[in-house]
Amino acid sequence: MGYTIPQSVNDEAMEYVINLAYSINMEWCEGPCLSRWNGCFLSRMQRGVIKLPFKYEAFLDNKDIIATLEGYGLDVEKSWFVLLFIYDLTMEFGINVADASKSDYDILVEIDDYLQNHPQAVLYLSDDKELRKSYRYETNSPLILQYLRRFVKQELDRYKDPLASREVRSLDLFNKCNYTKSISSSHQQVLMYKLFKVLFDKLALPDLKAKQGDTVSYSKMLLISRIIYFCRLTKNESFTIDSSPLKGILKQYGDFDFYNLNSKSYDGELMFPQNEGE
């Protein structure tokens, strides 16, 4: 038993993927235009680069998840592909991403300010955040620091409009050298929750309640919680029976701003709707 990867973004099986992609990413081409993330996701599926810790058969065998999806009238195959999309986004925006919270201009201003206020500054080069001696190179050479000050001044002079310059993000789009940041598993859980929340809002899922004697859970929060466990973002089995652990994660980490993270594979920003919430 298996599934067939769609051959086109227009395939009916991609419906939920397209709905989500158009809700969280907006391209700009002389004005706003539709996201291309659905095409990126399809290409990644076809090339087999999405590595999954779960299988399609296990998804179909998960009676709790399938029962809730079917209870809401959702198509299981479309749900599978959007699950893959959301998992891929969670990994791509959760592991080895670039921090784009500061513009090149902001960074140059900070360096210039530090050099001006610290005449005895020492320059460190290191691939270790703790700056251990065996992993760093340091110099206080007046000549090298003079060159650094001159370079910073020259670069700042290139920015005629400081306010506009703050919109230029610090990303190495060609070499992908600065994609080294990763977020915690708790933040990954928050990201997956928010992606499913946007999807369910986009699909206009109602708030259903189980009838007397019905064993199916219609809690969308619990459904997402169970999917988070299924995707192995947590080892806490309580996620499969109660939404309280996920609510606790959202309360503690839910305000995290994912906009400043940039993925190697999905170009552009991850933008949640303004009214997106729990």
- Domain identity same for 194 and 226: yes
Q: Indicate whether 92 and 111 sit together in one domain.
A: no
Position 276 pLDDT exceeds 70? no
Q: Give the pLDDT of residue 243.
A: 97
Specify whether 82 is located in the same domain as 188. yes
Structure-model confidence comparison of residues 215 and 206, the more confident one: 206
Mean pLDDT on 234-244? 97
The pLDDT value recorded for residue 163 is: 58
The tokens for 221 are: 């929060």
Rounded distance between C-alpha atoms, residue 192 and residue 190, angstroms: 6
**Percentage of the chain lying above the pLDDT 70 cut:** 83
Q: Could you tell me if residue 130 is inside a domain?
A: yes
Residue in the block written with tokens 């959007």: 82
State how far the Cα of 77 lies from the Cα of 80, in Å rounded to an integer. Answer: 5
Same domain? For 123 and 18 the reply is no
Greater confidence (157 vs 49) lies with 49
Give the pLDDT confidence of 146-172 residue by residue, as tens digits: 888 888 888 878 776 665 555 555 545
Does 272 fall in a domain?
Answer: no
Judgement on whether residues 32 and 149 belong to the same structural domain of the protein: no
- Residues 85 and 206 placed together within one structural domain of the fold: yes
Same domain for 90 and 150: no
Q: Tokens 């919270």 sit at which residue?
A: 101
What is the bridge-based pairing of β-strands 136-139 and 32-33?
unpaired
Q: Does 278 score more than 60 pLDDT?
A: no
Cβ–Cβ < 8 Å for 64, 240? yes
Specify whether 18 is located in the same domain as 91: yes
Residue 278 lies in a domain: no
Q: For 170-214, how does the pLDDT look when each residue is reduced to its tens digit (9 = 90+)?
A: 545 444 556 778 899 999 999 999 999 999 999 999 999 888 878
pLDDT the model gives residue 33:
62
Asked whether residue 250 carries a pLDDT value surpassing 90, the answer given is: yes
Answer yes or no: do 90 and 26 share one domain: yes
| Domain contains 6 | no
* 17 vs 125 pLDDT, higher one: 17
For residue 224, tell me if it sits in a domain: yes
> What string of H, E and C letters represents the secondary structure of the chain?
CCCCCCCCCCCHHHHHHHHHHHHHCCEECCCEECCCHHHHHHHHHHHCCCCCCCCHHHHHHCHHHHHHHHHCCCCHHHHHHHHHHHHHHHHHCCCCEEECCCEHHHHHHHHHHHHHHCCCCCEEEECCCCCCHHHEEEECCHHHHHHHHHHHHHHHHCCCCHHHHCCCECCCCCCCCCCCECCCHHHHHHHHHHHHHHHHHHCCCCCCCCCCCCCCCCCHHHHHHHHHHHCCCCCCHHHHCCCHHHHHHHHHHCCCCHHHEECCCCCCCCCCCCCCCC
Same domain, 95 and 108: no
Query: Which pLDDT does position 253 carry in this prediction?
Result: 95
Total count of residues recorded for the chain: 278
pLDDT at 38: 95
Where does the pLDDT of residue 101 fall: very low under 50, low under 70, confident under 90, or very high at 90 and above?
Answer: low
What is residue 157's predicted lDDT score, i.e. its pLDDT? 83
Separation CA 24–CA 37 (nearest Å): 9
Q: Which residue range forms the structural domain that includes residue 134?
A: 104-165
User: Is residue 208 a part of any domain in this protein?
Assistant: yes
Q: State the average pLDDT over residues 60-79.
A: 97
Q: Is the pLDDT of residue 263 over 50?
A: yes
Amino acid identity of 265?
A: S
**183: Cβ contacts below 8 Å, ≥ 6 apart:** 93, 94, 95, 97, 191, 256, 261
Q: What is the pLDDT of residues 112-125, one digit of tens each?
A: 888 888 888 888 88
> Do 71 and 191 lie in a common domain?
yes
Mean pLDDT over all residues of the chain?
86
Residue 39: its pLDDT value, please?
95
Between 221 and 100, where is the model more confident?
Answer: 221
